[in-house]
Amino acid sequence: MAERVHVATARGYEPDQPHLRGIAIGAGAIVLAVAVAVTTGVFVQRNVGPDATAHGDVIPPRVGGGPGLQATPGREIESYRAEKERLLHEYAWVDRSHGVVRIPIERAMALLVQQQAAKGGTR
């Protein structure tokens, strides 16, 4: 006996009745995904939550919340700039084993001018 084909399907139209099996499979997949996500979240919360130190676990640093704010940014920037200014105006060893030193910026510029003059002028 030949199979019966719906007239709507034969003409290229969608059938009037939804495919309940496909809907059930899709709904089941969604429910399964939600169950896995909730189970994973509960597991993570129990192992890394606030009481994790009671179990002897090491709590990793928290990510997020934005950058930490400086308590005294004015003083810290002044200190930073003073340190950089000090480095520009003093002699110091950078790498003693390789003979690398830091010299004051004024002295470095004067040496550069002397080298350029010895070569025959500027560019």
Q: Mind listing the pLDDT tens digit for each residue in 68-111? A: 777 788 888 999 999 999 999 999 999 999 999 999 999 999 99
- The C-alpha angle 108, 109, 114, rounded to 5 degrees, equals 100
pLDDT tens-digit profile of 31-49? 999 999 999 998 888 776 5
pLDDT of residue 91: 93
State the pTM of this model: 0.38
The span from the CA of 14 to the CA of 88, in Å, is: 80
- Give just the sign of the alpha carbon dihedral 59, 62, 67, 72: negative
Residue 117, pLDDT > 60, answer: yes
